[in-house]
């Protein structure tokens, strides 16, 4: 029975460790718009009902950035709001026109607004949707979620290990047998 408990504890500790590392990497990979970005892939959490019926509140979108050549007039894209005074940082809209400024830079007109290609996240139709995963990731990457998922368990594990070392050294000092 003790062996089953140890195996179960090891599995739970392993899952916790993977989750803690993933959440930490997501937080370290935030861009200035508080969107997790890994190279050309962005993890976008839908936190409002403004994009219904295509995307529901709590969805997690995995969006791959497309090159400027692959975005055409009529495509539905996600883009960052370059005006930082707005509460909404990510928008969704259809490309109305496209103008090449240079080899690497293109200006798109989306919802009657000029948007530089550096603010384009990617096409909506090429994104992968994970229902309700955005809610979970949003809770884990919040300040309180990170504190309860990563910081507190890590702190408790460190304190426990310190207590074990102190107990073992006390037993060695008193010539008592040390349990393994």
At 68 the three-state DSSP class reads helix
What CATH number did the domain enclosing 81 receive? Answer: 2.10.109
* DSSP characters over 20-44: HHHHHHHHHTB-TTS-EEETTEEEE
Q: Ranked by mean pLDDT, which of 21-30, 76-85, 170-179 comes out on top?
A: 21-30
Residue 30 lies in a domain: no
Q: What percent of the chain has pLDDT over 70?
A: 94
For residue 83, pLDDT over 80 is answered with no
Are 127 and 63 spatial neighbours (Cβ–Cβ below 8 Å)? yes
**3 within a domain of the structure (yes/no):** no
Q: Quick one: pLDDT at residue 128?
A: 94
Q: According to the model, what pLDDT value does residue 84 have?
A: 57
How does pLDDT run across 85-119, given as a tens digit for each residue?
666 678 888 999 999 888 888 899 998 888 898 89
Would residue 102 count as lying in a domain? yes
Answer whether 65's CB lies under 8 Å from 42's CB: yes
For residue 146, is pLDDT > 90? yes
Predicted local confidence at residue 87, as pLDDT: 67
Q: Is residue 14 part of a domain?
A: no
Q: Supply the range of the domain harboring residue 123.
A: 39-128
Q: Is residue 114 part of a domain?
A: yes
- Structural domain count of the chain: 1
DSSP-assigned letter for residue 71: -
Asked if residue 161 has pLDDT above 80, the reply is yes
φ/ψ region of 74 (left if φ > 0, alpha if ψ in -120 to 50, else beta) reads: left
Q: What is the three-class DSSP state of 99?
A: strand
Q: What is the dihedral of CA 46, 49, 55, 57, to 10 degrees?
A: 50
Is residue 180 in a domain? no
Residue 22 in any domain: the answer is: no
* pLDDT of the residue at 178: 66
For residue 145, tell me if it sits in a domain: no
Q: What is the per-residue pLDDT for 86?
A: 64
Give me the pLDDT at residue 58, please: 92
As a whole-number percent, the residues of the chain with pLDDT over 90 amount to 54
Cis omega (within 30 of 0) for bond into 53: yes
Identify the pLDDT of residue 6: 84
- 94 and 80 in contact (C-beta within 8 Å)? no
């Amino acid at each position: 029975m003790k062996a089953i408990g140890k195996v179960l504890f090891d599995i739970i500790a392993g899952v916790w460790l993977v989750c803690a590392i993933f959440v930490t990497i997501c937080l370290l990979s935030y861009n200035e718009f508080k969107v997790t970005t890994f190279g050309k892939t962005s993890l976008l959490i839908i936190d409002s009902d403004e994009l219904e019926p295509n995307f529901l509140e709590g969805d997690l979108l995995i969006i791959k950035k497309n090159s400027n050549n692959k975005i055409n007039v009529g495509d539905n894209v996600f883009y960052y709001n370059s005006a930082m005074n707005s509460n909404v940082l990510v928008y969704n809209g259809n490309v109305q026109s496209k103008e090449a400024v240079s080899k690497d830079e293109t200006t798109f007109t989306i919802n009657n607004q000029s948007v530089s290609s550096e603010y384009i996240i990617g096409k909506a139709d090429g994104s992968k949707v994970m229902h309700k995963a955005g809610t979970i990731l949003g809770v884990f990457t919040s300040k309180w979620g990170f504190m309860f998922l990563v910081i507190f368990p890590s702190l408790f594990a460190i304190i426990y290990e310190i207590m074990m070392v102190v107990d073992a050294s006390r037993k060695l000092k008193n010539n008592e047998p040390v349990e393994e």
